[in-house]
Amino acid sequence: MKILRKLLFPFSILYGLIVLLRNKLYDWQLKKSVSFKIPVICVGNLSVGGTGKSPMIEYLLRLLKDEKQLATLSRGYKRESKGFYLLNGNENGSYVGDEPLQFKTKFPEVQVAVDEQRVRGIENLLKLQQKPEVVLLDDAYQHRKVKPSHSILLTTYDNLYAKDLILPTGNLREPKSGAKRADLIVVTKCKPTISAEEMLKIKKQLKPLPSQKVFFSAIKYSEVAYNLQQNSKPLQDFKNFTLVTGIAKPQPFVEHLKQLGLEFKHLDFPDHYNFKNDDLQKINKAELILTTEKDFMRLKSQLPAEKLFYLPIEVKILNEVETFEKTIKRWI
């Protein structure tokens, strides 16, 4: 696979030039970009998948939900529905997308919508009787048709955009110069014990603008898993279970469970996977099943509730937490 990617390098150059030209047309205002009167905060990345956008959106929801009426807008990747859709929380993950359903389930007071056309999506949100005061855009960094009031750019600790290449040779959706559009940069999925010296080293690699602040975050795993009835089960009580994942980068989750000394069988599926009947029959053979919160949104209506559990996660900011949160609150 690595050899094939290297052979495709000429296509990376061509793709990079096309995306660079597209970005310049927006920068020069030759292509229309729409801004809105309310704060629109974009959370995104330069690379494909797995940077922790959903946990960051949830962090912002927890931070801001008591301050303003919030809405989230996602594309709803691989959803069955089309166009604008406002969630009520009773849908299944396949119909509206697993992340939006997760947001609505955890934050029922928040308006959660999906629309592949983000401008139309925000316009429809602003037509609601109870209009949102702030919109959080999930994974819209490359969606230049919307001009967000502020942008948070995520990059993972083990695959910094500064060290990556353009698709298809690398994993970047656009050239590294696109990072200049961000107000804040967050290095995600760090080791909780990352040192100040290593943080400084990474900052130098990212080369932020003087106006850009760089923060570091880690994933905080719950010590307790939950099922559909919200019955809890401590992780240490999981014996000989089956782990089911359909996310971009399951390895950190797998390593976390191994570090706890847990023994399990791992069934790994592609990101945003639509589980088929054969898959469900295979999974259902297990006496006890643990999955991610995102995958749970797709599986909860298809497997017995009493044996299907998910493990919640949260983002933990590792440096200058107060500065990070005050900055976000100033935006609204």
pLDDT of residue 255: 95
pLDDT at 6: 78
In a domain, 171, yes or no: yes
H or E element: which one contains 243? strand 241-245
The per-residue pLDDT for 8 is 82
- Both 152 and 195 in one domain: the answer is yes
How many domains does the chain divide into?
A: 2
Please state the rounded mean pLDDT for residues 122-151: 97
Q: 146 with 211, same domain?
A: yes
Q: Give the mean model confidence (pLDDT) for residues 212-241.
A: 95
Residues 143 and 200 in one domain: yes
Residues 45, 156 within the same domain: yes
Residue 146: inside a domain, yes or no? yes
Confidence of residue 1 (pLDDT cuts 50, 70, 90): low
- Residues 304, 227 within the same domain: yes
Summarised one tens digit per residue, pLDDT across range 150-167 is 999 999 999 999 999 999
Give the pTM.
0.94
Contact 164, 172 (CB under 8 A): yes
- Percent over 70 (pLDDT), the chain: 100
CB 176 within 8 A of CB 46: yes
Which residue in this structure is represented by tokens 């695959």?
Answer: 159
Structure tokens, 79? 């959803």
- Which one, of 61, 92, 112, 113, lies nearest residue 228 by Cα? 92
In a domain, 36, yes or no: yes
Burial state string for 155-173 with b = 16 or more CB within 10 A and e = fewer than 16? bbbebbbeebbbbebbbbb
Average pLDDT over residues 32-58: 95
Residue 233 lies in a domain: yes
**CATH code of the domain covering residue 275:** 3.40.50
190 and 261 part of one domain: no
| Structure tokens, 276 | 């088929």
Environment class of 270 (CB within 10 Å of its CB; exposed 0-12, middle 13-18, buried 19+): exposed
Say if residue 305 is in the same domain as residue 252.
Answer: yes
Identify whether residues 213 and 228 lie together within a single domain: no
Strands 150-156 and 40-45, how do they pair? parallel
Percentage of the chain modeled with pLDDT above 90: 92
- Distance (Å, whole) CA 82 – CA 185: 32
Residues facing 220 on adjacent strands: 314
- For residues 302 and 227, membership in a common domain is answered with yes
Q: Within a domain: residue 115?
A: no
Q: Is residue 82 part of a domain?
A: no
Does some domain include residue 94? Answer: no
Q: Are 158 and 240 in the same domain? A: no
Structural domain boundaries enclosing 25: 2-68+133-220+317-331
Residues 158 and 298 in one domain: no
Per-residue model confidence (pLDDT) at position 12: 93
